[in-house]
Structure 1
């Protein structure tokens, strides 16, 4: 355990401070250390983040389980932090409705420098909202707490149907597992898809769920493990670069088009066409992040045919153009290669 007052030991790394409070949910603290702690520079393997756990009053912090954790670092860690993350604590819903934070928590939040990136996990959003950080901003929290959050903080633009939100310097996530999505998103924003992808692989989780642009992340569609349309979906994923008709999909399951369409919707919650568009958007995003392919080439490989078609579908799905998505979600080295000029198609015409 570090000595009291020890904050960060490695200069130059992005400094992440996790502000824990009484009633801490341990999984949320572990998520931050596990994910940011594994992020490394692909060139030399050096860690990219320094993560420290701090608390308003150093000492033993009670969790919502049958143990406590000893936290030696106090709120001084927040002064030099580049990112501050506030995990949930048991009782958040009832603790922050009467007004702004007071006491040690308020004193701790006051130490955060202007411009510091601040994020919450699950009901940690109640703390951010009570401090006025979510007024006029899009935010989310656990779906079970959504009604109470909306009542207590009407000035926040609550969206309970997303995994996380990104308002630039203030981010929020839904339930505990959505903290994984949020942390991976921040790593991807900071250092690109390759670094975030490697962290995800080591953690055995998806690099990102349902698209990449945080402001437009939708609830992911659950894919049934065993279903009568599973073979068709698996086949379609291997042939996204070519036109796929309903008849072809139905043939994979030896069904009529009508029966296949009905069962597909029952099992997946979407029509086959809607599902195909989502999977093609997913593929296009991955290609924009990981390859140097032109927009025309990405459109062809993802099955959209033309750059115009890709642009329309990407705008509808995640609210950005292919060029804007690529500029946001590629690593710094690749961003530089694409930064100087406007987005162009394979014919060289600007878009």
Structure 2
């Protein structure tokens, strides 16, 4: 079944987030940071959509805007067919239980003065998923077993745990409200490689056990590809490509995606011969390029790339690329 035949859990339409830049002169024209611009995509039940890109590409801002942690400048967000962009604050509480985020830093995302058991129980009680403290504690202990910790840690403080254990606690806290969609914002980037593998395997296990849907954000393409069904590639606030994981190595891929793929290390000490080294710096999000966002660093750029912004073009099943030459590449 293709994505066109399925009903999306989450649908984002032309979402934009601009941050105003503080003026330094009285008559200076107002400038904006183009953090997220005209982003559209869909997420389907039971899948993991990976969002990948360099630091500053707008990945985290996109997630925070969808979750209404920051107010969008434009566009719409639909969850289960209902628009939630302008959700009334009274209904926001119900929405929070269905959409949860696991943050990047396991050391900063937990209250150091609160024991981990009550921290996980708190959202259960707030959303009415436990009748009292006793029931909440029982549910928390079961959650702790699920994420690979012993129930005895209920009365311990965050500083008594390692980074990997703290991230497991963060996962348990997110699962406490029985969400349908989990946002994982660089959730393994602060962990050791061996611990990363454990947390990624835990995500996959929980996905099967609880019928979860993920949006997994990361800058490491190898990690994102490992866990994702489809991958959305961002650059300077724009979506460059949306591709199923098994088509990621396709010759139809966007030049930026090809550069990211070439940067993934191989299990050998020899340097990669196909490594694509991008020249120049990432342009300022305050003054993005007129044409394609990637034109100033693209190794395939032509004059049209500097003058006209390309549209998203379908080059395969569920595979979309924002490139002027995508049609030419897709032709046999």
For normalisation by structure 1, the TM-score amounts to 0.25
Q: RCO (CA 8 Å, sep 6+): is it higher in 1 or 2?
A: 2
Q: Which has the higher strand share?
A: 2
Q: Which has the higher helix share?
A: 1
Query: Who wins on radius of gyration, i.e. which is larger?
Result: 1
